[in-house]
Structure 1
């Protein structure tokens, strides 16, 4: 399947089911984390594994609420208060209660993912809402949520010593939606890690800066 924006081939839609799958796979993988690992760094990030799960849940929550109003904002974010709990920590609107332990932390992640899944399912495709990389539609926010989930679970898996290898077809769909200029002849998961600055590809240097393109696209096909 080609992912090139210039191939002329129709692009499969990224769906709420795709997002639901990504979150379920991530939560399932993280349930195997050693209890002592949550205070360690998440891969190359400066956040702890606990903070990284909170950040991921907050990303999914933020995308959901951005789509939530009857007239979603097009010039800025819904004004929740995002703040860090320590210098250098992630600025979140939601945090997990430490007393609930890792099981509670993963429940927060699961619940935040479910909010975005529900919003993507129920909002009309023509809905537009603000994002810093360009106003997007429900499919775009689903794809963004999947990328956040897949790559931050990669960070977490490195920090916690867990295996993590998400489905190639899922990676290919979000590459087609958010990174249309990414190479189409390489392993989709490795390519997604390359596109988000986490891995190299043969003949291509590792990226030091990157961003996706969440703006709505034509040429979709049904999933």
Structure 2
């Protein structure tokens, strides 16, 4: 028996990806003159490296949806490399000669790729992710979460304001973190769910993951 009074989950869309990336770009462009080699929040990566990692995430999620028959047992076999021992392993890097403005253009381009793939991939497509074989909506939600939380990290490092919309946070929590507390501030809850904050009665998570599997 179904609960006729249960709220209907609002799906995460390509428009959410595009909107989130645009919000992030607006926030980060306020720090173009800052030191992008400073650490990004609590991460061991610099703000520059964290933007490259974020752009690479968006690119990789788009790439997973790209093949006519996406792999279900592993990632599309790009050659991910790290440019220093403790840095992120990426396919996507920005030409440092173009400075932070060029770096953000790379982020914008990769966000556009994921937006386009989510918009055009059939809903029945399934592709591999380490946190569960997922669908286009799932990869859209992953891209939104990565953008929201890594922009938080970068904004902390650069001393910028970043407070994303509650509804956006709520949609990705419902899709990827179905066990997250309800009735709490949605942005604070997403930070808690990704190991970046605390909630009343809930300590900071030492380990966390999302659930990319397609809901039944």
Residue aligned with 1:36, SS: coil
Q: For residues 196 and 48 of structure 2, what CA distance do their matches in structure 1 show?
A: 20
- In structure 1, the partner of 2:57 is 59
Q: For residues 64 and 76 of structure 1, what CA distance do their matches in structure 2 show?
A: 14
- In structure 1, the partner of 2:183 is 185
- In structure 1, the partner of 2:130 is 132
Summarize deviations over 1:34-69 as a string: whole Å, max 9, x none. 523201000000000000000000000000001000
Shift of 1:211: 0.3
Q: TM-score, normalised by structure 1?
A: 0.94
Alignment of 1:1-223 (within 5 A): 8-218=6-216
Superposition RMSD on alpha carbons, in Å?
Answer: 0.9
Summarize deviations over 1:52-105 as a string: whole Å, max 9, x none. 000000000000001000000000000001000011000000100000111100
Q: For residues 83 and 156 of structure 1, what CA distance do their matches in structure 2 show?
A: 22
Summarize deviations over 1:113-170 as a string: whole Å, max 9, x none. 0000000000011100000011000000000000000000000010000000000000
Q: For residues 51 and 174 of structure 1, what CA distance do their matches in structure 2 show?
A: 24
Any unmatched runs of 5+ in structure 1?
A: 1-6, 219-223
Q: Which runs of 4+ in 1 moved over 4 A?
A: none
Q: For residues 213 and 79 of structure 1, what CA distance do their matches in structure 2 show?
A: 23
Q: TM-score, normalised by structure 2?
A: 0.96
Residue aligned with 2:38, SS: coil
- In structure 2, the partner of 1:4 is none
Contact conserved, 1:34 with 1:160, CA < 8 A, in 2? Answer: no
| Alignment size in residue pairs | 212
Any unmatched runs of 5+ in structure 2?
A: none
Greater RCO structure (CA 8 Å; 6+ sep): 1
